Amino acid sequence: MRIALFVTCLADTMFPAAAKATVTLLERLGHEVVFPPGQTCCGQMHINTGYQKDAFPLVRRHVRTFAPYDVIVAPSGSCVGSVRHQHAMVARNAGDLSLAARAEDVAGRTYELSELLVDVLGVEDVGASYPHRVTYHPTCHSLRMIRVGDKPLRLLRHVRGLELVELPAAEQCCGFGGTFALKNADTSAAMLGDKMRHVLETGAQMCTAGDASCLMHIGGGLSRLGSDVRTVHLAEILAASEAS
Amino acid sequence: MSTFLGMPTTAPRGVGHLRGDESFPDAARKALGNEQLRRNLAHATTTIRGKSGAVIAELPDWQELRSAGSALKAATMARLPELLERLEENVTAAGGVVHWAADATEANRIVTGLVEATGHRRVIKVKSMATQEIGLNEALEAAGIAPVETDLAELIVQLGHDKPSHILVPAIHRNRTEIRDIFLREMPGVDPALTDDPATLAAAARRYLRETFLSTKVAVSGANFAVAETGTLAVLESEGNGRMCLTLPDTLITVMGIEKVVPTWRDLEVFLQLLPRASTGERMNPYTSMWTGVTPGDGPQEFHLVLLDNGRTAVLADEVGRQALHCIRCSACLNVCPVYERTGGHAYGSVYPGPIGAVLSPQLTGVADNASLPYASSLCGACFDACPVKIDIPSILVHLRNEAPHPRTERIAMAAAAYTMDHPALYARAQHAAKLSRHARRLPRPLNGWTASRDLPQPPPETFRDWWAGR
């Protein structure tokens, strides 16, 4: 299958390992990955901070960039959530009904990584090997906005050597929330404190999730604590094999 | 032919409790420093979440019930004027008197006047969000009338000269030692040897309240529901204080937000299932009191219903925001909110705290007067899942953020970021510039909030697009 990678601006700029792993994984499963070059950012930060007018050209750019592709994947539940639940709204609010229709069309072909693997490609065992003790944080947008359910866990359970430990209060937000972490930094830090406590309680070596943004938040907190627990994107675990 | 009367107005300033004295982040910072408060909140919200989750899981048709509740509310809002007039007709036919209050000031004036007309100087009150919203107690006190809150937690708040911090559990921020101290200091006739044993505290309140119930001739209540087709009002409660207030006095005055009306009696079937399970985690609340006008020789012989707008028509005019009027005040969204759980209710500055407060208060007052509230959420979505009438709170938050006034520097930064991201060559250059932040451990304002408790990620040697280009 020919799959267009929507890399997301954060993975592209700060966490390319997650994006490279997505490519490695899909190619190992026998698919062709293409990278539409005009892509930048989906505009979620602008939309969620109250700048829909500024987000409009980004939505238009995203829709134009990805319109030619049948299957689009992103290593992020949050960015897929924005594409699926916000892009058409931004276009409608700007009075561009034609863009809204095209945005809905693109959204219908856009998948978060675990959705693509389980729902579209029909695979749960991706042939990965990752001999570590890992806990999984279900990010809010993957859980409640696009409803990936237990797909990431089903994928993780098939990874050779991986010991999956359950995260207490897993479904509580880590406190990131985009610009929330800046505008309400103290509340965000209090939420992060509880999330880190739960991660550390598991005794896991790694905390994984389907969003680089939440991992940047949890990882930044753990690093400040001086903890040696690391954060790793779900794609990186699924791309790891005995050969690698 | 109808006359256009102009756009509906928002709740007036200077009266009631919809606006805080400081922004949410500032108020939250203080609350976060209170360890006791955070422990109380975490314990209480976790307990209610567990109870509610268990009784909701018993119902195989919970999701259908939520959809029914949502549809009934949407249908009600679509013909609110007609239903309110129907309600007025039927309440009047049953011997009640209906008053229309455009805002808090008018509602307070009506209620104060009605109490003064009875010649009594004390009223007993059933827990009511609407009367908290309009600051009725202060208005009554200013007229020399003593309001006595009879819900135990509201009584604790009132005696403590405090503000409620939760819709359902207004004294959630108080522990039992604090409650004993408040009772010892403020409760008339209290036993000076009072301990902080919960049963003893409840007994002290019960004795005081019973004397008050039996000697007070006027009551003020809110309403959970009002049935347009029958003119019936309904109050749901747990302690029985409401039943006392609604049946013992000679005069009953009910203040009700106009959105509380439901079309028909049978619609209650849905809401009487949704509310207790989502709210207290009970299958059925202990007391459901319903009354229709006045019944000769039984209960209050004078009944007044005050229909309160106070910004609600303005909310109704907003296509996205109007679903906030569907709220049945269960507080499920507070109990699942990770922000509320840590900051408590006072940080929201309004009688409506938590996620629903963050969307309702700014709409009632106009968003400029509560501009920080739509941002008091990480948009985690837990509130939407918990809401028994499916109010899409995250979408309303995003909508209100778009309406809110923005700081100038933020506006400039956001416009620049959007421009950069709409020009891939500029974007690629900006990506490389990000590498310069490599060794920053503390960022300048307004980004310092991040680095106060989190490290920045190390920028990678090459971006993904550089790696892809070189493959």
**Is the pTM value of this prediction over 0.90?**
yes
Residue B53 lies in a domain: no
Structure tokens at B9: 């107005």
Lowest mean pLDDT across A69-73, B22-26, B132-136, B443-447: B443-447
Nearest to A12 among B401, B422, B464 (CB): B464
Beta bridge partners of A111: A73
* pLDDT value of residue B158: 96
- CA dihedral (B103, B106, B110, B112) positive or negative: positive
Q: C-alpha A67: how far from its chain's center?
A: 21
* pLDDT value of residue B40: 87
Rounded to 10 degrees, what is the CA torsion of A21, A22, A24, A30? 160
Say if A223 is an interface residue toward chain B (CB within 8 Å): yes
Name which CATH class applies to A2-120: mainly alpha
**In terms of Cα–Cα distance, which of A184, A174, A177, A182 is closest to A221?**
A174
* pLDDT value of residue B7: 76
* pLDDT value of residue B317: 96
Q: Which residue has the tokens 């991992």?
A: A215
pLDDT of B445 higher than 90? no
For chain A, how many residues are written? 244
Residues B302 and B357 in one domain: no
CA distances from B70 to A87, A89, B135, B261 (A): 25, 21, 29, 14
Cβ-Cβ contacts under 8 Å, A47 against chain B = 398
pLDDT of B244 higher than 60? yes
Percent of chain B with pLDDT over 70: 98
pLDDT of B181 higher than 80? yes
Q: What integer is the mean pLDDT of B415-438?
A: 88
Residues B333 and B444 in one domain: no
pLDDT confidence of B1, banded at 50, 70, 90?
A: very low
Residue B45 lies in a domain: no
pLDDT confidence of B447, banded at 50, 70, 90?
A: confident
* pLDDT value of residue B440: 66
pLDDT tens by residue, B318-345: 999 999 999 999 999 999 999 999 999 9
Range of the domain at B464: 408-469
Residues B179 and B289 in one domain: yes
Cβ-Cβ contacts under 8 Å, B422 against chain A = 40, 57-58, 61
pLDDT tens by residue, B253-287: 999 999 999 999 999 999 999 999 999 999 999 99
Q: Within 10 A of B210 (CB to CB), how many other CB atoms are there?
A: 13
Residue B18 lies in a domain: no
Nearest residue of chain B to residue A186 (CA atoms): B29
* pLDDT value of residue B2: 60
Domain of B269: which CATH number? 3.40.50.10420
Nearest residue of chain A to residue B444 (CA atoms): A182
d(CA A214, CA A140): 9
Residue B456 lies in a domain: yes
For chain B, how many residues are written? 471
pLDDT confidence of B441, banded at 50, 70, 90?
A: confident
What is the overall mean pLDDT for chain B?
A: 95
Nearest-10 crossing angle of helices B152-159, B176-186: 60
pLDDT tens by residue, B62-90: 999 999 999 999 999 999 999 999 999 99
* Model-level ipTM above the cut of 0.90: yes
Contact A173 B380 (CB under 8 A): yes
Say if A19 is an interface residue toward chain B (CB within 8 Å): yes
* pLDDT value of residue B437: 64
The two counts, helices (H) then strands (E), for chain A are 14, 8
Residue B15 lies in a domain: no
* pLDDT value of residue A188: 98
Q: C-alpha B442: how far from its chain's center?
A: 38
A219 Cα to chain B: minimum distance (Å): 8
Contact B457 A48 (CB under 8 A): no
* pLDDT value of residue B287: 97
d(CA A213, CA A11): 8
For chain A, the structural domain boundaries read 2-120, 133-239
Structure tokens at B86: 């129907």
- CA dihedral (B82, B87, B92, B98) positive or negative: negative
d(CA A151, CA B427): 33
Contact A57 B375 (CB under 8 A): no
* pLDDT value of residue A243: 74
pLDDT tens by residue, B304-322: 999 999 999 999 999 999 9
Strand positions, DSSP E, chain A: 2-5, 32-34, 72-74, 110-112, 133-136, 163-165, 206-209, 230-233
Percent of chain B with pLDDT over 90: 88
Residues B175 and B105 in one domain: yes
Residue B43 lies in a domain: no
Q: What is the count of structural domains for chain B?
A: 3
Residue B362 lies in a domain: yes
- CA dihedral (A44, A45, A48, A50) positive or negative: negative
Name which CATH class applies to A133-239: alpha beta
Nearest to B375 among A15, A184, A186 (CB): A184
pLDDT confidence of B5, banded at 50, 70, 90?
A: low
Q: What integer is the mean pLDDT of B3-23?
A: 89
Q: What integer is the mean pLDDT of B381-394?
A: 98
Query: What residues of chain A score a pLDDT lower than 70?
Result: 244
Q: What are phi and psi of A117, to 5 degrees?
A: -65, -50
A87 Cα to chain B: minimum distance (Å): 13
pLDDT confidence of B168, banded at 50, 70, 90?
A: confident
Residue B42 lies in a domain: no
pLDDT confidence of B433, banded at 50, 70, 90?
A: confident
Say if A190 is an interface residue toward chain B (CB within 8 Å): yes
Domain of B367: which CATH number? 1.10.1060
Residues B217 and B293 in one domain: yes
pLDDT of B57 higher than 90? yes
Strand positions, DSSP E, B83-212: 97-101, 122-125, 146-149
